[in-house]
Structure 1
Amino acid sequence: MNKLEIHFLGGSGTVTGSKFYLHTEEIKILVDCGLFQGIKALREKNWERLPIDVSQIDYVLLTHGHLDHCGYLPLLVKQGFRGKILGTGPSLDIARIILEDSAKIQEEEAERANKEAYSKHHPALPLYTAEDVAFALRFFEQVDEGGQVSLSEHCDARFLYNGHIIGSTYIEIDLFGKRLVFSGDVGRQQDELLDPPKQPEWADYLLVESTYGDRLHPIEDVGQKLVELVNDTLYKKGTLIIPSFAVERLQSLMYQLWKLYKKNKIPNIPIFVDSPMGNNVLQVFEHYPDWHKLTPVEYRNMCNHINIVSSYAETWETIDDPRAKIVIAGSGMVTGGRVLTYIKQLGDMISTSILLVGYQAEETRGRKLLEGATELKIYGKTIPINAQVHHLESLSAHADQGELVNWMGSIKNVPEKVFLVHGEKSAMEVYKDKIRENFGWDCHIPNIHEVVEIIL
């Protein structure tokens, strides 16, 4: 008789901070190792040590490289982890870019907070440094998509394409004859840049994301919406600011705008991409052509059409540029990055428009804008917001309820238990009912730090 404990250390009752710890006598595995984002009570958890013996973990398996799935890795290593961190080639490259950017932002914000004395902490410290990231990267080890990886005598894993971002996968773990499936973040059935997700055929235990478990994405004409926003920006001689996730959404927006220009749907309005991380991600697309739909020629033409902002000095030049323009800048939930500078300087102007794309977590600046905020706190100062705020939910990289149900629909057996993770509680409750209605499966919504024991 073999006993498995599943520790829900993050991504439980909330969207961010995904961490799922599998503990057996033979092997200890952490699936994803993300940072919490959003409300202060969650962000503060990033400063807490994990309630497990980190030094015992043999492997970390990464579904993909987003911050809420990999951003805690430097802290895990600081707490004593010395195992292997496994992921696909693009996922590890994305994780490296995101971790290095995260450390840089944290160091810069701590320095600014100390200089301007707006932090309650004296001195303000970064969560981790670039040096911490460099050390964590030493434990990265690439795996092939679809191949079987032997982790111990009675444990194998497979990383299978799931179309959320470049390199992203769901993970199947065969442990003592039982199969656990971790969905990661499931992508869309139809995506401009990525293929549809592969689907699991067997799951004794299923941990499935439920970010949009309570809704369907609206049927929107994304191209027409962008055309209208561009024309409005030209008419007002203003700036269209698009806060964007550096991975996938930024590249997708570039592709959409380039296609509209190529089809003469929009004029040759200057487009600036101001995201050092996003620029690095473009190189990942170039290095892994088999992971996306863009041909090398399309990729080059698209990049040549866009103005890449490479320095902070160029950020200010872009802000001062009097022409009507489009600025795509990180971060997607307006939690940090260069977009804060643009909104701080231009957000009070009625000639400015802000287009939000993708999911906006609770209490992020993006969610506040979505809910009609007339001011934002940026770098310790309150900034009035007179810009028009728009939202394109259909550009989300997450599957909606229907796509999630479809993704699960290929499972041939009846899982012994389905755990709903990576969602707000209201969304998970709705999705739980939907799964019961469609499949009759036994679902559970775990709380953070809950431990479930399973006899294998």
Structure 2
Amino acid sequence: MKAKFFGGAGTVTGSKTIIESNGVQILIDCGQFQGIKPLRELNWEPLPVLPSSIDYVLLTHGHLDHCGWLPRLVNQGFSGKIFCTSPTKDIAKLILLDSAKIQEEEANRANEGNYSKHQIAEPLYTVAQAEAVFSHFRVVEENEVVALDAEISAVFTNAGHILGACTLTLNLESKTLVFSGDLGRDNDVLMYPPTKPKKADYVFIESTYGNRIHPKEEVKLLLETYVNNAYSRGGTIIIPSFAVERAQTLMYMLWQLKEEGRIPNIPYIIDTPMGISVLEIFRNNKKWHKISVSECEKMCAMFDMVSNYQETINFIYNKNPKVVIAASGMINGGRVLSYLERYISLPETTIIIVGYQAEGTRGRKLLEGAKDLKIRGKYYDVKANVVEIEGLSAHGDQNDLLNWLSEIENKPKKVFLVHGENAPADELRIKINERYGWDCTIPLMGQEFEL
């Protein structure tokens, strides 16, 4: 049995791990690379194994860095089944279609504006190629034992990260392999805490925040302060947000603040069509989150739900103070770019960063104090007030990750630290070894291990 790491190794994006056993190849996640250009360029490279040779894909959750390369995989010959939970299937569909649409729009814009380095800019994949993935999805229930092969089974258990997110347990060759996927927090606003594994011969654990402890900050108080400060200056508040889970958490907290009379009566805008669609998935999957149906309805009533781009333009050119939640969360694309083109150079504007910002993304550059930002081929001076709320992360911190391992009854043969940049992964490796005495390895991209 072998484990091969083709993504999510030394980086937080592009998650792809292949387990090969007795001629069967199982791909755990199939993510798109994001961030710095050398990583993004990997999306155009062929997979080191033939997609047609992969028998199954097991999807931990529907974020782009875990499912965003599926259209390329299918287009290049994969014909097997993609197993995931029902919310993950629904979210992955939304995210793949949105990604494909953005890819097509960016390619068209680059060709029209003649700012691509290529003679003809092409999308990584098209909407039609994204849609071709959907027939491969197979829905599984939480805790259901899924027989992939006569001697291979998989179980999906709650990971607490976003709706439908799961840890995967693979049983094969008399061994138990546990893949954390992205782990949520033990005390998340919307999600239930992750289920802890009891047994594992090999553990594949994410390490996004392996060297960080989330600050014990009053998130609602910070949100209240930033909104009121910007309002007092006559400015607009822009919150780049992931459309899944983060946008809904922000909506929930802003609704609570408004109900408590702690923030002003100004327009509150959710300008992410995908984020609006996710609200319906929330309504249909009550068992996966803490928010009640009545709370969801009241929360939604407070917001202007922007569905078409003309509405976006109208809000952009409305000079009055407002709060805008818009995708994408790392400012890689999406409608938030249109707002930033208008508002990033205004000193009365406040930009609130509320999630992990991968290396090379516009969000990371803003946090690092960039004086200008390139958007759609043009540079804009950054004069807006850029602030961060760390306590909204949907990823567990170092304590959460260590705690998730605490109920494993046996000593694993090896722990692989994946989905993290090198420094966080290495510090988590040291902490796991100190606390549990387990053998830990940080795999390199393209590395292969015999299990």
TM-score (ref. length: structure 2): 0.99
1:54 Cα deviation after fit: 1.4
Match of 1:95 among 92, 106, 109: 92
* Corresponding position of 1:167: 164
**Once the two structures are superposed, what CA deviation does each residue of 1:249-308 show, in whole Å capped at 9, x if it has no partner?**
000000000001111121222110110111111111011111111111111110011111
Q: Is 1:349 matched with 2:314?
A: no
Question: C-alpha distance in 2, partners of 1:181/1:188?
Answer: 18
**Identity, % of aligned positions:** 52
1:272-351 equivalent positions in 2, closer than 5 A: 272-351=269-348
Q: Is 1:266 matched with 2:288?
A: no
Question: C-alpha distance in 1, partners of 2:423/2:291?
Answer: 37
* Corresponding position of 1:63: 60
1:26 Cα deviation after fit: 4.2
Give SS of 1:64's match. coil
AA aligned to 1:340 is L
1:323 Cα deviation after fit: 1.8
* Corresponding position of 2:418: 421
**Once the two structures are superposed, what CA deviation does each residue of 1:372-422 show, in whole Å capped at 9, x if it has no partner?**
011100000011110000001110000000010001111111000000000
| Residues 26 and 152 in structure 1, CA contact (< 8 A), matched pair in contact too | no
* Corresponding position of 1:374: 371
**Once the two structures are superposed, what CA deviation does each residue of 1:7-32 show, in whole Å capped at 9, x if it has no partner?**
10000011100000011224210000
* Corresponding position of 2:174: 177
1:187 Cα deviation after fit: 0.2
| Residues 20 and 31 in structure 1, CA contact (< 8 A), matched pair in contact too | yes
**Runs (5+) with no aligned partner, structure 2:** none
Question: C-alpha distance in 1, partners of 2:37/2:148?
Answer: 37
Bigger mean CA offset, 93-102 vs 265-274 = 265-274
1:144-293 equivalent positions in 2, closer than 5 A: 144-293=141-290
Question: C-alpha distance in 1, partners of 2:99/2:433?
Answer: 39
Match of 2:2 among 1, 5, 24: 5
Question: C-alpha distance in 2, partners of 1:163/1:231?
Answer: 31
* Corresponding position of 2:121: 124
| Residues 233 and 325 in structure 1, CA contact (< 8 A), matched pair in contact too | no
Question: C-alpha distance in 1, partners of 2:389/2:295?
Answer: 24
AA aligned to 1:182 is F
AA aligned to 1:201 is K
1:322 Cα deviation after fit: 2.3
Q: Is 1:442 matched with 2:439?
A: yes
Q: Is 1:141 matched with 2:138?
A: yes
Bigger mean CA offset, 265-274 vs 46-55 = 265-274
Question: C-alpha distance in 1, partners of 2:215/2:188?
Answer: 15
Question: C-alpha distance in 1, partners of 2:86/2:136?
Answer: 14
Give SS of 1:138's match. helix
TM-score (ref. length: structure 1): 0.98
AA aligned to 1:156 is S
| Residues 240 and 353 in structure 1, CA contact (< 8 A), matched pair in contact too | yes
Question: C-alpha distance in 1, partners of 2:285/2:246?
Answer: 17
Q: Is 1:28 matched with 2:14?
A: no
**Runs (5+) with no aligned partner, structure 1:** none
Question: C-alpha distance in 2, partners of 1:23/1:433?
Answer: 28
AA aligned to 2:220 is G
* Corresponding position of 1:388: 385
**Once the two structures are superposed, what CA deviation does each residue of 1:354-376 show, in whole Å capped at 9, x if it has no partner?**
00011000010000000001110
**Following TM superposition, where does structure 1 have runs of at least 4 consecutive aligned residues deviating by more than 3 angstroms?**
none
Q: Is 1:410 matched with 2:407?
A: yes
**Once the two structures are superposed, what CA deviation does each residue of 1:10-61 show, in whole Å capped at 9, x if it has no partner?**
0001110000001122421000000000110000000001010211211100
Question: C-alpha distance in 1, partners of 2:148/2:242?
Answer: 33
AA aligned to 1:146 is N
Give SS of 2:139's match. strand
| Residues 162 and 198 in structure 1, CA contact (< 8 A), matched pair in contact too | yes
**Once the two structures are superposed, what CA deviation does each residue of 1:102-133 show, in whole Å capped at 9, x if it has no partner?**
00000000000000000101100000000001
AA aligned to 2:146 is V
Question: C-alpha distance in 1, partners of 2:399/2:266?
Answer: 37
Question: C-alpha distance in 2, partners of 1:240/1:220?
Answer: 20
Give SS of 2:132's match. helix
AA aligned to 1:30 is L
AA aligned to 1:33 is C
* Corresponding position of 1:53: 50
Question: C-alpha distance in 1, partners of 2:311/2:144?
Answer: 44
Give SS of 2:407's match. coil
Question: C-alpha distance in 2, partners of 1:353/1:125?
Answer: 34
**Once the two structures are superposed, what CA deviation does each residue of 1:223-269 show, in whole Å capped at 9, x if it has no partner?**
11111111112111110000000000000000000001111121222
Aligned residue pair count: 451
Question: C-alpha distance in 2, partners of 1:431/1:198?
Answer: 20
Question: C-alpha distance in 2, partners of 1:233/1:369?
Answer: 18
Give SS of 1:433's match. helix
Question: C-alpha distance in 1, partners of 2:84/2:228?
Answer: 42
Question: C-alpha distance in 2, partners of 1:296/1:244?
Answer: 23
Question: C-alpha distance in 2, partners of 1:122/1:5?
Answer: 41
Question: C-alpha distance in 1, partners of 2:263/2:377?
Answer: 38
AA aligned to 1:301 is K
